[in-house]
Amino acid sequence: MCLPMITAGVVGALVATEPCAQTDLQRAQNLATCLAGRYPNLCRRQWLAGDEVKMVESAERRENLKTCLTGRYPNLCDRSKLGADALQQVVAAEKRENLKTCLTGRYKNLCKKQLLTQDELKQVLTVERAENLKICLAGLYPTLCDRSSLSSEQLSKAQAAESRVAQARRELSARAPATLLRRSASCETGHWVDSVSDDGEIVKLEDGSVWQVDAVDAIDAMLWLPTTEITVCGDKLINTDDNETVEATRIR
């Protein structure tokens, strides 16, 4: 094992000199990591030679631009590394992705309405009202129904739907309380999302169970709504609304 040399300082104290040189293999592995451009925090720049530093900086700018141009991860985009033309493209990409999110009508909190044009805003508000009406008329989630946007006729229909659902649940609970969840091939249907953390890594279901989502799948889970129907299959949560599957571990 290679250890740093210990020498006597000018005041008699023992002082560690520069660490011993890295092996060629370590430097090669570090250079490969750096040149990927995707993991700046894992790149040991002090091990790089002058020409290698320039190559790594170029790789990091390239990978950053790729991330930025998706428009999906503004928080991961380092705008300081973008040129004027690239910045314009990134802004346009972020607006496109934001519009796509907004036009689902399902993610009001994720929709940045300040990025929308007036025509786009009208479209989004129309879609949000339609999506809210669907939720209200389903009668499954009264707390998620924005009654202020309903007409008198729509409100009456929503209240009737809520009454029907409540009655059906009471009858089902009285008739077969132990079979509320249908079991098939080790999977449980009949679940739905109660809440999701902002970063998507923690999902709580209606039965009180809490699940930690794998980091690579958190970007999908963070968009799930409390209205999302879920099937639990072992260590997988399946969003049956969008046919998305995430790996997760039950922690409670």
What are 20-70's pLDDT values in tens digits? 567 999 999 999 999 999 889 999 999 999 899 999 999 999 999 999 999
| Type of residue at 179 | T
What is the model's pLDDT at position 122? 97
What residue ranges of the chain have pLDDT lower than 70? 1-21, 172-185, 198
Distance CA 241, CA 44 (A): 44
What is the model's pLDDT at position 3? 46
Report if pTM > 0.95.
Answer: no
What is the model's pLDDT at position 175? 61
What is the model's pLDDT at position 225? 85
Cα angle vertex 109, ends 241, 232, to 5°? Answer: 30
What is the model's pLDDT at position 172? 66
**pLDDT tens per residue, range 98-114:** 999 999 998 888 899 99
Residue 151: both structure tokens together: 């007409």
What is the model's pLDDT at position 184? 47
Q: For the chain, what is the largest distance between any 2 Cα atoms, rounded to a whole number of angstroms?
A: 90
